[in-house]
């Protein structure tokens, strides 16, 4: 009799545990205070109207030309996939000074009928605070980002191009130098007045030696390469493009929810290409070498 009761009790425990994921899905995630007032908003009222919420004029689509030359890639002080520190030579390339914004991306959606960058309604809790003209567009997959850059006559930057543009050539670990600054970028480490994303270029310290903004914070960014844990140990040292194939695409930089070591410029992240999230955006690059050393507007 005792053995039978034990089996029944064990079966009930197993049944309860298996229902927890379903209960979680049905109930949704627990909301933080600033999310509670927005939890009922649907994507149609957030992004699918086709208009950003801000009346602020859009920032210009400015590109920065990075002259050919070597730079220090990787670090010996980070995770396994960040090393070893080594020198890489890149040909001249151009890169957007700012992350792609809502205003810019919705122009693309309007012109091409591409899907809107809205999440499923259950996960739209923060989006009402992320609609500004000059806030970076989020909830875009790697394919979405690639399609936008192609429409603009550009492409996603390679991982090496992104790192050089944000880090400069001298091996610094942050855009401003080699010492951390908790208030230097839009992170989760300090109360900076932004619950979520900030307008691009809002943090003067988060500006690389080349004048490229928001590499350390604001949103994590898709780049072109497939992810390889040992990429820095096996890739060539001239215009590397990463593995030929893979499961994950590389994400670089920190975002408004980043803490700890994720904020180093050398930090590497990875995700499946069709993933979309409110912490992930992108910027474009190009191989146009006109006006080397100058900033130009597209």
Structure tokens at 104: 């810019």
CA dihedral 272, 278, 280, 286 (to 10 degrees): 120
Structure tokens at 290: 């006109």
The order of strands in the sheet holding 268-271 is 268-271, 249-252, 220-226, 280-281
As a whole number of angstroms, the distance between CA 295 and CA 92 comes to 13
List of residues 6+ apart from 245 with CB closer than 8 A: 226
As a whole number of angstroms, the distance between CA 186 and CA 192 comes to 7
As a whole number of angstroms, the distance between CA 1 and CA 174 comes to 67
The order of strands in the sheet holding 295-297 is 285-286, 93-96, 62-66, 295-297
pLDDT reported for residue 202: 96
pLDDT reported for residue 46: 37
pLDDT reported for residue 118: 79
Block means of pLDDT (10 residues each) for the chain, 298 residues, are 55 51 36 33 39 72 96 93 96 98 98 89 71 96 98 98 96 91 86 91 96 96 97 94 97 91 85 96 86 43
As a whole number of angstroms, the distance between CA 155 and CA 100 comes to 12
CA 97, 101, 105, 110 torsion-angle sign: negative
pLDDT reported for residue 180: 86
As a whole number of angstroms, the distance between CA 262 and CA 196 comes to 17
CA 132, 136, 141, 146 torsion-angle sign: positive
List of residues 6+ apart from 287 with CB closer than 8 A: 91, 92, 93, 94, 155
List of residues 6+ apart from 118 with CB closer than 8 A: 43, 46, 47, 48, 124, 127, 139
The runs of H, that is alpha helices, within the chain are 2-27, 33-36, 43-46, 102-112, 142-151, 159-167, 231-234
As a whole number of angstroms, the distance between CA 99 and CA 213 comes to 8
List of residues 6+ apart from 139 with CB closer than 8 A: 47, 117, 118, 119, 127, 276, 277, 278, 280
pLDDT reported for residue 125: 67
pLDDT reported for residue 120: 63
pTM of the shown model: 0.80
The answer to whether 73 and 231 have CB atoms below 8 angstroms apart is: no
Domain covering 31-297, topology:
3.90.1580
User: Domain locations in the chain?
Assistant: 31-297
Q: How many CA atoms lie within 13 A of 3 on its CB side?
A: 0
């Amino acid at each position: 009799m005792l053995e039978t009761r034990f089996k029944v009790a064990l079966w009930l425990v197993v049944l309860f545990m298996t229902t927890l994921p379903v209960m979680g899905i049905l109930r949704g995630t627990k909301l933080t205070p600033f999310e509670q007032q927005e939890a009922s908003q649907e994507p149609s009222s957030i992004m699918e109207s086709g208009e950003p919420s801000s009346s602020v004029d859009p920032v210009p689509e400015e590109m920065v030309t990075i002259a050919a030359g070597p730079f220090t890639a990787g670090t010996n002080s980070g995770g396994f996939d960040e090393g070893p520190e080594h020198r890489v030579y890149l040909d001249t390339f151009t890169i957007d000074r700012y992350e792609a914004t809502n205003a810019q991306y919705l122009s693309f959606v309007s012109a091409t009928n591409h899907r809107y960058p809205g999440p499923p309604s259950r996960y739209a809790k923060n989006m009402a605070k992320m609609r500004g003209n000059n806030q970076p567009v989020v909830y875009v997959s790697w394919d979405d980002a690639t399609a936008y850059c192609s429409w603009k006559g550009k492409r996603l930057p390679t991982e090496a191009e992104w790192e050089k543009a944000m880090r400069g050539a001298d091996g610094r670990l942050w855009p401003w130098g080699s010492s951390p600054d908790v208030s230097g970028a839009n992170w989760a480490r300090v109360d900076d007045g932004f619950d979520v994303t900030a307008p691009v270029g809002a943090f003067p310290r988060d500006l690389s030696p080349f004048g490229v903004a928001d590499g350390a914070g604001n949103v994590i960014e898709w780049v072109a390469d497939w992810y390889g844990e040992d990429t820095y140990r096996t890739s060539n040292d001239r215009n590397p493009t990463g593995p030929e194939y893979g499961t994950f695409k590389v994400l670089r930089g920190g975002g408004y929810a980043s803490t700890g070591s994720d904020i180093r410029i050398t930090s590497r992240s990875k995700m499946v290409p069709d993933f979309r999230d409110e912490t992930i955006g992108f910027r474009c690059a190009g191989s146009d070498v006109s006006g080397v050393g100058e900033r130009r507007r597209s």
